[in-house]
Each structure stands twice: as C-alpha cells, then as structure tokens.
Structure 1
C-alpha cells in the first residue's frame, strides 16, 4: 500500500483525506473555542471529526500546527516575538509597539484586517482570536514579568486592550492623526502606557504617581 492509500484509510469510512482534513479543522476550531487549546487532545478532535487519531497526527504533527491552520494566521512572526521576549523588561513596551507596527505595515495587512474583522464578531472566530493573543503573543511576552498567575493575566489583558485599540484605530477605522502617524510618533505616545501595564504598579494611576 502506498503512502497516499495508507493516509486515506485513516479516515473512518474510507473518505478522502482532503474531506477528513476539513472535518479535523472544523472539529478543532469548535473544541478549541469551547475548552481552550491546552485542554483539548488529538483523541477528542479525532472522535469529533470521525477520523483515526493517527490521521490527525499525520496532518498536524504539532498542536501548534493545527492551531495555526484553524485560525489561518496570515503571518506568524515567531522571530519578531522572540526579539520582544529577549528585550529587557524595562524596554518591552517600546519593543512590542514597534513590532506590532512593523508586522501590520507589511504585505500581510489586508489578510490580518480580515482576521480582526471576524474576531470582532460573535462565536468561534472571536474565541480563537483570544487564544491567539493569550497563547501565542501575550503569554510568552509576559511570562517572565510576573510570578502571580492572576496578575500576569491582568497585565496581559491590559496590554491587549492597548494593542487591539491601536490596531482598530490605525488600521481598521483609520482615525487621524494615528492612521498616518509615523512609527516613532506612535511609539512615543503609546509605549509608556503599555510599559506601565507590563512592569508598573497596577494600583497607581499612570503618569500621576498616585494610587486609587
């Protein structure tokens, strides 16, 4: 039996692998959205998709590969994220703003706008985009900044509020003057607030030095 025939037989009922792949993706999207990526295993996905677990592993050797296919990320800036993570904590606000601007002002912008548009709606797309931000971006970027898990999640959520706001205002709604401002100008204005959320006292009001 050749490799192609072996793969096809892994789909329960002997259906084409292409059809089985789509069922795997549909099932994974639903399960990831309902339970989170970490809580779902290949056995659950295979059962929901009516395929053998071996086919899921063959099509997607790593869960990260399956997740990327589910959300159809137009760009996976692993190298850029690695540089942000290597940045000193005191400079990470500026680093993540410059990285976001570099990635968004690239040929992938139109595809990312479509992805954000879907994420702003209800349902599975929005749930998966939350996974993108928490699992792929903000989790790794904030992992070494805060020992307390609850505070780490709060810091990540606050940073996300700033970054998503910037994306919506600059690229989706295009409100001036941010829509055409230079990278340096945007970084100067926004990075300090994000830096505060990364490393500052969350009981203090940014820019005032006072608590609540």
Structure 2
C-alpha cells in the first residue's frame, strides 16, 4: 500500500496542508513584482520565481495575471470580466453592448463606490494609479482591440479604434461619477447610454467625423 503523503504529487498542486501558506506567499510575491515592474512588466513566471514555487502552482491558485492583480489590490470587482461579458455581441451591436454593460455596472450601488475609487486612482499620478492604468489598458483596451480585429480589421487599426472606444466611455464615467459635471449627473442613465452608443459604435466601425 502506498502512503498518500509519499505518492508523487501532481505538478501544480500544493503539498498537503500547505495551501493557505502557499497562496499567501504567491500573493505577497505578486505584490512585490507589480510594485517593482508595473503591471505590464510582471509575468506569472516572474511571480513564481520570486515566490520560489512552480509556475503551474501560481496558475493553480490564480487563473490569470488579472485575477492575481485584482486580489493583490483588493478590487471586489473584475473590470476585465465586465468588459468580456459585453464582447460576445455581433459586430453591428458591439458598441451598444459595451456601453450598456460598462455604464450600468458603475450605476450598481454595490459596485459604484469601488468603481469611483478606481476612476479617481487612475487619474492621479500615484503608484497605485499607474498600476491601475496599466491593468485597465492591458486587460480592457486589449480585449476590445482583439474583438475589433476579429471583425476583419488589422491589429494597428483595431488598437486605434479600441483606444477611442475606451476614451469615450472613460470620459462619460469620469465626468458623471468623479467630476460630477452637469448635465451628465442629472440625466438618466438610459439617456446617457442612448447618447453614447452611436459614438462608440462609430469608433468600432472606424467612422470618422469627415465621413
């Protein structure tokens, strides 16, 4: 009979009784990596090296770098998942899907406080703000760019269009929730969504003002 503790351990699995300690060790290493290298410069392998664990073990606890980042900075909401939920829409309806999903998420009373905190951090020059900007650009704008590219657009143009989509939506969010500018504050969210969709869809399709 083989003792279960002496049996070969599957790669990427923690040793018996070490799960909590290992997870905390990985999170601590990730915090140091993000601080030293920024979001873009941090890799799951780099985190594994600093934590002195197998890279597969990092993936066992944290599926992606985004999920690890949101835990380290204690974000109770996953912006990357919010945007991902909107990207399955057909290309002609993509703008409406993105606008409704993102703007309505910031209206949810359970998420609004943290959402506004994130927006305020992003527009500051703090280290936390820089990290959040990198995270949002990498995980949100890149996801939108990939979806646009999937519609038959070359990668450079897709990224340009995605940047305009994010600019449009970020502008609405910041003016409504951070600056609290009128008439955006007093207008209903349905009115704001209806006004924003054509501009965002235009950016997705590459429609320029002179067209």
Q: What is the TM-score with the length of structure 1 in the denominator? A: 0.74
1:4 aligns with 2:17: yes
Per-residue deviation, residues 52-82 of structure 1 (Å, max 9, x unmatched):
1236455435434313223433212677534
Residue 148 of structure 2: SS of its match in structure 1?
Answer: coil
Superposed, 1:1-80 pairs within 5 Å as 3-5=16-18, 8=21, 18=24, 20-21=25-26, 23-30=28-35, 33=38, 35-36=40-41, 40-42=43-45, 44-47=46-49, 49=50, 51-54=51-54, 56-57=58-59, 59-76=61-78, 80=82
Q: How does 1:43-192 map to 2 (within 5 A)?
A: 44-47=46-49, 49=50, 51-54=51-54, 56-57=58-59, 59-76=61-78, 80-106=82-108, 107-146=110-149, 147-192=153-198
2:96–2:197 CA contact under 8 A, matched in 1: yes
Indicate the RMSD between aligned Cα atoms, in angstroms: 2.9
- Specify the alignment match of 1:14 in structure 2: none
Q: Distance in 1 between matches of 2:19 and 2:86?
A: 43
Q: Distance in 1 between matches of 2:19 and 2:197?
A: 53
Q: CA deviation at 1:169?
A: 0.6
Q: Which runs of 5+ in 2 are unaligned?
A: 6-14
CA gap of 1:120–1:99, structure 2 versus 1, over 3 A, is: same
| Gap runs ≥5 in structure 1 | 11-16
Deviation at 1:99, TM superposition (A): 1.0
SS in 2 for 1:121: coil
8 Å Cα contact 1:98-1:183 kept in structure 2:
no
1:159 deviation in Å? 1.1
Q: Give 1:127 deviation, angstroms.
A: 3.5
3-state SS, counterpart of residue 169 of structure 2: helix
Structure 1 residue 168: Cα displacement = 0.8
- Per-residue displacement from partner, 1:72-96 (whole Å, max 9, x unpaired)? 3321267753442121212222221
Q: How many residues matched?
A: 192
Asked whether the 8 Å contact 1:118–1:126 carries over to 2, the reply is: yes
